[in-house]
Structures are given as structure tokens and as C-alpha cells.
């Protein structure tokens, strides 16, 4: 169990907290962090001028997870295997699909918001930016206010205000690629440079592939866009594989990504959001259903000892070492006695 405290002074209830509560209450799924309860404690605070005002603290009682996916992998001390990535990807997509079926999108998917238990059970967390969406999408919040830039979809980077749940799928694709390689899929020093970095990999979309994309608000400001050629859709997998640096089969123990896995990533990173695969459809993709290796069974995911377990093991190791030292001393004394 984890308790998150939010303090507020004056009248009203923070809108961000209301939205997070609404999102967590609207969708119940094993891959979403569970809210166990809410507690409000009233008290006194100090405003400007040192005047006493009513103040209160809201405590969100949440399910406890020991790690996010990055710290889980760091504690593991190695890259995830393809089967382990598949297991985590299934859990991520199941949580997303559950949200999207209830007409809600997360809008801030990133490794820090994917929590893991010590046994590799994944939970989507931090629903402060989650919202309801409509079909077709209507004009929403400015794209620069949602999703951490590294995991922001190409339509958001180009200024599309009428975005939908496809932005979550893009973020999930970036995260899955990162779990496979151990490094961020796309990175740059600015949002404009990030958009160009993405387009250099996937190519400049044709008008037939993504009608009207050149009229999006931020496209005109992209310096260097003219130097990025359109590439046929069938060439995109090879470009993405080269960028990932993962062969189709393992060579000398190196990480790899099968053609089926590459195909799913290409579908999740389709530039046109209306042509991007949905979370539901991704769960039925051959990479996650039939292609070898199959997703690791959740009960066989690596186990990371908890702090208490580690302390217990270290204490046991200390006891064992002390016992070995004492036993060696006894043997030495016995040997000395026999020599005499």
C-alpha cells in the first residue's frame, strides 16, 4: 500500500485530483494501479500575509509497487529477454485497451508511469492527464501540454489538436522498443528536432498515406523537413530495424527482434493516427500470440527480492560467513593439537 498526500489551501478541490480520481474509478483492470481509498484531513494553513486559512490534505491510498520498469530492469542487472518484453507488453496493452474501451486515454505514458511489482506484474499509473475522448476526436488540449516529449506521438509534435487514443499506442510502441534495446527510441534536444528525428526514420508521409498532415500547425516551422524524403511503406520496417540495431535472430547472445515484433512496432508507430493499430488489435498480433518465443508466463517472470528479503539474505550471508570463520578457527586449533 502507498499513500500519496496532496495539500490544498482555500476553497475548492484541485481539478487535477478530481480528474485522476475519476479516471481511476472509471476503469478497473489488473494492469491499472488500484486506488484503495481516499481520506481528507482538514486543518489550518498560512496564506500570504501570514493569515490563518482553512487547509486540508487529501490522501490517496494506492496499491504499492516496488519499481517502475526501468528500476526493475536495473535491479535485474541485464536486458529483458524478448519473451519477458512480450509479457510486459501484453500487460501494458491490456491496461490501455481497458481504458480505451471506456473512452479514456492516458496521455502520459512513459517508463516512470509503468510500475512493477517484484515479480514483474505491471501497472499503469499516474492518471493526472487522463481524459475522456470522443470518436471522431474533437479539438483537445494543446499538444505541448500532454505526454512527455520523448514518448509524444508524431501528430502531437506536429501540432494536431484533434488527437485520440492512438497517441497512447505510439507511446506504448516507444516504450516496448526501449524495453528491447535498453535505450530511448527517439531523442532530441527540442520538440522540432524530435519530430525531424522521427521523420528521418519513418520517412516523410505521402499525402495519400496521411491526408492533410502538411497543414498541421507546427509543420511550417520544421527546418530541414524538405531534406527528408518520402519512403514507401514497405521500406519502413528495414529503416526501423536499422534504427533499433536489433537483428531478426540472436547473434553471439545479442538481443534480437523477430520480423513479427518489428511488424507490430511499425504498426504502432504508423504516422497517420487513424491508420495506427489499436491497443485491442495489437493484443491479437502474431508477435504476442503465436510467434516464438511466446510471452513469458507471469509467474515465471524474474523475481527481484524486496528490501526486507535482501536484508534477510544479507543477514543470513553474514551469519554463514561468521559460522564459516568460526568453523575454520576450530579446525585450525584441532590440527594444531594433533601436531603436538
Q: Which of 50, 68, 108, 119 is catalytic?
A: 108
**Cα distance between residue 154 and residue 188, in whole Å:** 13
**CA-based nearest residue to 235, from 213, 207, 212, 204:** 204
**Cα distance between residue 297 and residue 83, in whole Å:** 9
Residue 162: count other Cβ atoms within 10 Å of its Cβ. 13
Are 233 and 208 spatial neighbours (Cβ–Cβ below 8 Å)? no
10 Å CB burial of residue 254 (0-12, 13-18, 19+) is: exposed
| CA distances for 53 relative to 4, 8, 11, 222, 256, angstroms | 23, 11, 10, 49, 60
Are 56 and 43 spatial neighbours (Cβ–Cβ below 8 Å)? yes
Q: Following DSSP, what letter does each residue of 152-174 receive, concatenated?
A: --HHHHTT-SS--THHHHHHHHH
Active site (annotated) includes residue 108: yes
**Cα distance between residue 339 and residue 24, in whole Å:** 75
Active site residues: 108
Amino acid at each position: 500500500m502507498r499513500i500519496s498526500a496532496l495539500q490544498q489551501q482555500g476553497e475548492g478541490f484541485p481539478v487535477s485530483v478530481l480528474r485522476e480520481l475519476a479516471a481511476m474509478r472509471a476503469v478497473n483492470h489488473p494492469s491499472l494501479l488500484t486506488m484503495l481509498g481516499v481520506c481528507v484531513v482538514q486543518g489550518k494553513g498560512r496564506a500570504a500575509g501570514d493569515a490563518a486559512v482553512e487547509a486540508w490534505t487529501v490522501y490517496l491510498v494506492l496499491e504499492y509497487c516496488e519499481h517502475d520498469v526501468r528500476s526493475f530492469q536495473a535491479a535485474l542487472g541485464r536486458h529483458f529477454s524478448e519473451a519477458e518484453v512480450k509479457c510486459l507488453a501484453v500487460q501494458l496493452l491490456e491496461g490501455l485497451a481497458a481504458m480505451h474501451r471506456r473512452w479514456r486515454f492516458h496521455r502520459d505514458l512513459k517508463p516512470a508511469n509503468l510500475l512493477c511489482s517484484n515479480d514483474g506484474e505491471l501497472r499503469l499509473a499516474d492518471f493526472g492527464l487522463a481524459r475522456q475522448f470522443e470518436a471522431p476526436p474533437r479539438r483537445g488540449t494543446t499538444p505541448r501540454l500532454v505526454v512527455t516529449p520523448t514518448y509524444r506521438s508524431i501528430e502531437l509534435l506536429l501540432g494536431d489538436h484533434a488527437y485520440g487514443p492512438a497517441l497512447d499506442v505510439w507511446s506504448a510502441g516507444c516504450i516496448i522498443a526501449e524495453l528491447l534495446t535498453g535505450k530511448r527510441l527517439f531523442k532530441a534536444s527540442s520538440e522540432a528536432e524530435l519530430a525531424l528525428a522521427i521523420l528521418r526514420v519513418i520517412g516523410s508521409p505521402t499525402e495519400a498515406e496521411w491526408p492533410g498532415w502538411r497543414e498541421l500547425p507546427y509543420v511550417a516551422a520544421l527546418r530541414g523537413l524538405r531534406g527528408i524524403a518520402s519512403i514507401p511503406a514497405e521500406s519502413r520496417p528495414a529503416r526501423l530495424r536499422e534504427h533499433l540495431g536489433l537483428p531478426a535472430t540472436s547473434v553471439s547472445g545479442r538481443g534480437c527482434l523477430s520480423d513479427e515484433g518489428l511488424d507490430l512496432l511499425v504498426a504502432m508507430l504508423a504516422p497517420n493516427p487513424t491508420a495506427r493499430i489499436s491497443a485491442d488489435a495489437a493484443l491479437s498480433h502474431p508477435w504476442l500470440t503465436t510467434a516464438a518465443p511466446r510471452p513469458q508466463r507471469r509467474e515465471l517472470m524474474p523475481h527481484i527480492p524486496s528490501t526486507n528479503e535482501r536484508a534477510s539474505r544479507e543477514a543470513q550471508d553474514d551469519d554463514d560467513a561468521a559460522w564459516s570463520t568460526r568453523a575454520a578457527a576450530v579446525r585450525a586449533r584441532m590440527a594444531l593439537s594433533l601436531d603436538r
